[in-house]
């Protein structure tokens, strides 16, 4: 679960001086990421370090939050026994307009580990596993589009 308290405490760990402003910018970033994954709410994700991601874990990785660019966030699943990742969904981002090569990434593709995804990077782990009968996150995993790039 991610809420304002958690964002504020994390921001204070990073910077003791202007943590309210940092927490607000983190909150805006989180809302932007969430808008590309409809049905995934703040209750369904947890902020973790990339090194804590295990096999078969699903997580959202936003390159834009590291580079400050316009890259679309990716929902990835770490595959067992390989350093490969399965694309479970693609969020909103303008990068495919700028670089058509990026459009080659598709839902259910297997990719190698992105270069910037190193231990220490913050990712959002998706904790929900809905079934065909419903459950939290059902809309995204069974009803929604998976690619929200323009």
Partner 1 sequence: MDRRQLKKQRSIEKNNQDIEKAKSKGRFIKENHGILPYSLEYTKEVSTNLKKRLGDNPSANDLRNFRGFIIDLLVFWNPEYKNEDKDYFKKLIEDYWDGKY
The contact set with partner 1 (CB under 8 A) reads: 4-5, 7-9, 12, 16, 20, 23-24, 27-28, 31
CB 107 → partner 1: shortest distance, Å? 28
Of 14 and 98, CB closest to partner 1: 14
Of 9 and 98, CB closest to partner 1: 9
Of 85 and 124, CB closest to partner 1: 124
Strand partners, 112: 84
Helix, coil or strand: residue 30:
helix
CB 28 → partner 1: shortest distance, Å? 6
Q: At what angle do helices 19-35 and 4-14 cross, to 10 degrees?
A: 130
Of 20 and 134, CB closest to partner 1: 20
d(CA 75, CA 71): 13
DSSP 141: I
With beta carbons less than 8 A apart as the criterion, state whether 32 and 100 touch. no
CB 24 → partner 1: shortest distance, Å? 5
């Amino acid at each position: 679960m991610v809420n304002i308290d958690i964002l504020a405490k994390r921001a204070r760990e990073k910077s003791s001086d202007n943590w309210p402003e940092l927490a607000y910018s983190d909150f805006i970033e989180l809302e932007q990421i969430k808008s590309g994954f409809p049905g995934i709410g703040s209750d369904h994700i947890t902020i973790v370090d990339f090194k804590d991601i295990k096999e078969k874990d699903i997580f959202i990785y936003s390159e834009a939050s590291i580079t400050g660019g316009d890259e679309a966030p990716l929902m990835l699943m770490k595959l067992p026994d390989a350093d490969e990742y399965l694309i479970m969904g693609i969020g909103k981002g303008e990068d495919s307009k700028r670089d058509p090569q990026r459009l080659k990434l598709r839902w259910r593709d297997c990719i190698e580990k992105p270069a910037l995804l190193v231990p220490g990077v913050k990712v959002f782990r998706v904790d929900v596993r809905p079934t065909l009968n419903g459950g939290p996150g059902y809309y995204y995993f069974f009803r929604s589009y998976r690619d929200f790039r323009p």
